[in-house]
Structure 1
């Protein structure tokens, strides 16, 4: 459970923004979406390799 202490005189918008940031960092929503349906290990590995290739391509472009 996330607890966001609200400081004296703080606007609710800023507190909501902090809550959303903290929620994103915990990865709760991402893990729920992953558990919605089963992905085969081979498919998960393939997407992981594709992501690694993409990131490596970006790094290669950056170094050139």
Structure 2
């Protein structure tokens, strides 16, 4: 469970922004989506290689 301590005099919007950032960094939503269905390790590996090739292509064009 994520806990965000709101500091004295801190704006609630800022605290909410910190919570959202922490939630995204912990990758809870990504874990839930991955657990919905089983993927074979070979399929996971193939997706990782495809993603790496895409990222390399983006940096190569610059």
Number of equivalences:
62
1:1-27 superposed Cα distances (whole Å, 9 cap, x missing partner): 212111112221111111000111111
Moved >6 Å (runs of 4+): none
Structure 2 unaligned spans of 5+: none
Residue 49 of structure 1, CA deviation: 1.1
Aligned position for 1:18: 18
Aligned position for 1:7: 7
Structure 1 unaligned spans of 5+: none
**TM-score (normalised: structure 1):** 0.84
**TM-score (normalised: structure 2):** 0.86
Residue 48 of structure 1, CA deviation: 0.9
Spell out the pairing of 1:25-40 with structure 2 (5 A cutoff). 25-40=25-40
Q: CA RMSD in A?
A: 1.1
